[in-house]
Amino acid sequence: MSRAIFTAILLLGFAFVRAQNAPSKNAPIEKRKYYTQRITQPIRLDGIPDESAWNAVEWSGNFTQYQPNEGKAPGQPTLFKILYDDKFLYVGYRCLDAAPDSIIKRMSRRDEFPGDWVEINIDSYYDKRTAFSFSLSVSGVRGDEFISQNGNNWDTSWNPIWYGKTHVDTTGWTAEVKIPLSQLRYGNEADKVWGIQVQRRIFRKEERSVWQYIPQNSGVWVSGFGELHGLKNVPSQKQIEIAPYVVAKTEKYQREEGNPFATGSDSKVSVGLDGKVAVTSDLILDFTVNPDFGQVEADPSRVRIDGFQNFFEERRPFFIESRNIFDYQLTGSEAGGNYDSDLLFYSRRIGGSPHGYPSLAQREYAQVPQNTPILGAAKFSGKTKKGWSIGVLESITGRTMAEIDRAGDRRQETVEPLTSYFVGRLQKDIDAGNTVIGGIFTSVNRENNLNHLLHTNAYSGGLDFLHFWKNRTWYFRGNVIFSQVQGSKEVIANTQRAFEHLFQRSNASEIGVDEGRTSLTGTGGTFRFGKIGGKSGKLGQVFKFETGITYRSPELELNDIGFMLTSNEINHFTWAGLHYQKSFSIFRNARINYNHWSRWDFGGQFLYQAFNSNVHATFRNNWQVGTGATWNPYEVSNNALRGGSSLRLPSGINHWGYIQSDFRKKVLGSVEFANSWGFEHTARSNDVTFTLRVQPLDALNISLSTGYTHNWRRQDQYVGSATYNGSLRTIVSEVNQHTMRYTLRLNYNITPDLTIQYYGQPFITRPTYQHFAYVADPLNNDFDQRFRRFSGSELRFEDGRYVVDENRDGSVDYTFGKPDFNFVQFRSNLVARWEYKPGSELYLVWSQGNTPAVASDLSSPLNRSLFDNLFSQQGRNIFLVKMTYRFLK
């Protein structure tokens, strides 16, 4: 593998040298036009466009290869026709193929785009930035995506109602698509022009061809579309969709003797409603009442010991559909970094676990809901013909009560207050999208502060801008944001001391805890300048780059409705890449990238410096390979000691790589690895993941991945803190953390509308601690001088705790708990989904979760501990039936 990577680097370097003086071909590209016709005769959707109505228009073809041999003729010709009436847009395809027996007919769930397919992208707003995509595979699988940011974002969460059929014959395959106009958004002008693009994929060659040629070096997509003409007097569509549902659920779990709430079984039936109403032809209202997401796949197991919160992707359908309008990244840099996960709106905050837990006396039991109930939610979104993008979301979560029992006497205690979540988003396109300005405002309002645990009110907002020039290849973009949180003195003091802020840090000259405050107001922002396209050389290479700065002031707080890892940072980043987008030598495409990062806090303290280079290549046989390295010569963390002080961390180097076999084959294998070393033997990390995917049938695929991670730090892992002689003692130690994870996925697609999917993940992580010390001089250049280890006479272990006699006078000075633990978890679900009519679904779900109490099992081998303990106690099994029926007008 290393030889293949080395060869790839040499060839890419040679190509880079050749390319510097290569001529470029950037002649103006003519916009293609297609003229459609209104029909009055019906189209029988059977996949064969042979009805007489299709004769009203001409076939269009003459596609151009997009990948791998950009600009050349495609391997097989493609033709299409477009018709419309008052309710539908019709597309007919003829995909000619000289070897019809070689057409790949793989099956999958919706939006997985298997095998050979065709698709049409429709810019019905004609804003040259957004479009609706409808893909149909030869096996009949539908895929739909909402395209935004001129093709830089393709959102598969958009699930409109539409219809498609295919047919294979001796000349290739044909298809018919029927798209309700109510699923598109457009203005009310009498004579419409829409942007369109038609694309075909030939799977066996992994070839893409397009109707409207758009050079890859242009850096654009939607703005390069051809045009659809002939749409006259298309009526506005008053879309109304109502989808009531009923859910029957039974939970089985281990019975707990004496606990009246843990009888071993619970059952309930609930009902709810989803709806969609088109207020105008380009603005839509979505709403949900008492939503249920029981069919949604469980989050992967994840445990962090560095203090930072985990980020989990949104999986609930109501919140992921149309999320592009509400997506507001603080940074979103090409260089990447931890700051890129920060969001003004993180929908997982809505309906999460309650923040409180009841105070229980002896022999009291509590029943606490796992999630805060969402009483209802609504969002209003769309885009007007004048270029205004509008998004408004409101969600109400109910007051959540824990029920407490003591010998039959019951009482209730609030664990989450009634809460309103609001997001408003507005953007305006200027000069056909070459300039975009926008703003966002969010609010969280709670009925009380839950015994000084929560902010009573939290607000955030921002202004953003984007400007393109030189055919949208150069850009300047940025935003400025603010936040304000309000609450009691206790709540705001806790926020100042929280991990994200740490105002109590001893060496922080710019901040300090103010016990009398009842609000905090912070700011942040990002400014980025870059190039995403331009002239290409003989090998199709394009130089791209971006540089910028992003900051978060110490008082910035977003975690009531957003996601923020930490505040009090100023980050600079630069990324540059040479991307080979055309095939050359042994490559289909390749890229070489360079990155560097620097960071300071608002006190002027320099925190971080790193440099990175990486290379990626796809070979002509569709194998993929990549490798990269990062050198980190300097790092200081304001968070590592949880408020004790800043701590200088080891400098070091990181190397990673991956290799993946041809994804078109029935058997696919891949390996990913990463290794890092702290200089002077101060830290070490190793991570490797193997994945095997097998496709024994077109309708069945199975994948298994196995991952192992080992992290070791010599002395600087935070353990806890204590007070000694009036001063703070921050306890640290050496840590060894071993993690194993297995992920099994099985997908069986009986038909495009009837699928069975299984997901299962056994997981174990085990951090063990030794060689305890306290922090003595946290910023010393010498690693060993930063800590003072406890000697054998100063530290002993008694009754489950470590006892410290620091002055060795025979009395206990302070204690701290044993931090070692063994965490085992199994999560799985089996989902059968049947879309028995478009938009109406039946789900049968079995989900299983088990987190056995095995924290003390620290000596047995990792895998033995995982599989011996995985089912050592009865897990929680949930059996669920959910049925929705969608009424469409």
pLDDT tens-place string over residues 196-233: 999 999 999 999 999 999 998 888 999 999 999 999 99
Contact 239, 564 (CB under 8 A): no
Contact 36, 83 (CB under 8 A): yes
Q: Output the six-digit token pair for 734.
A: 């050496």
pLDDT of residue 138: 97
Which amino acid type is present at position 125? Y
Query: Has residue 7 got a pLDDT over 60?
Result: no
Round to whole Å and give the CA distance between 759 and 750. 18
pLDDT of residue 383: 82
Q: Is 727 exposed, middle or buried (0-12, 13-18, 19+ CB in 10 A)?
A: exposed
Work out the pLDDT band at 21, boundaries 50, 70, 90.
very low
pLDDT of residue 192: 93
Higher-pLDDT residue of 260, 19? 260
Which amino acid type is present at position 851? T
Round to whole Å and give the CA distance between 768 and 733. 10
pLDDT of residue 10: 34
User: pTM value?
Assistant: 0.90
Among the residue ranges 25-34, 86-95, 310-319, the one predicted with the least confidence is 25-34
CATH (one of 3.40.50.1440, 2.60.40.1190, 3.40.640.10, 1.10.357.10) for 31-232:
2.60.40.1190
Torsion sign across C-alpha atoms 637, 638, 643, 644:
positive
pLDDT in tens, 413-430: 999 999 999 999 999 999
Contact 200, 172 (CB under 8 A): no
Query: Has residue 677 got a pLDDT over 50?
Result: yes
Contact 691, 704 (CB under 8 A): yes
Section 519-532 average pLDDT: 97
pLDDT of residue 25: 44
φ/ψ (deg, to 5) at 514: -115, 105
Give me the percent of the chain exceeding a pLDDT of 90: 76
Query: Has residue 321 got a pLDDT over 80?
Result: no
Q: Give the gyration radius of the chain's Cα atoms.
A: 29
pLDDT of residue 197: 98
φ/ψ (deg, to 5) at 369: -60, 140
Whole-angstrom CA distances from 79 to 61, 63, 96, 823 are: 5, 8, 8, 57
pLDDT in tens, 792-809: 899 999 988 999 999 999
The label of the residue with tokens 């359908």 reads: 317
Chain-centre distance for alpha carbon 551 = 22
pLDDT of residue 658: 98
Contact 713, 735 (CB under 8 A): yes
Q: Other C-beta atoms within 10 Å of 741: how many?
A: 20
Contact 350, 255 (CB under 8 A): no
Work out the pLDDT band at 27, boundaries 50, 70, 90.
low
Work out the pLDDT band at 15, boundaries 50, 70, 90.
very low
pLDDT of residue 159: 85
pLDDT of residue 759: 95
Whole-angstrom CA distances from 304 to 301, 310, 374 are: 10, 7, 28
Domain residue extents for the chain: 31-232
Sorted by sequence, the CB contacts under 8 Å of residue 130 that are 6+ apart come out as 123, 146, 147, 148, 222, 383
DSSP state letters, 142-194: EEEEEEEGGGTEEETT-----EEEEEEETTEEEEEEEEEGGGS-----SEEEE
Round to whole Å and give the CA distance between 324 and 153. 8
Round to whole Å and give the CA distance between 302 and 739. 10
Q: Output the six-digit token pair for 788.
A: 């003072």
Section 306-312 average pLDDT: 93
pLDDT in tens, 270-305: 999 999 998 877 788 999 999 988 888 888 899 999
pLDDT in tens, 610-661: 999 999 999 999 999 999 999 999 999 999 999 999 999 999 999 999 999 9
DSSP state letters, 49-76: --SGGGGGS--B---EEEESSTTSPPSS
**Nearest CA among 156, 143, 147 for reference residue 110:** 143
DSSP β-bridge partners for residue 598: 572, 609
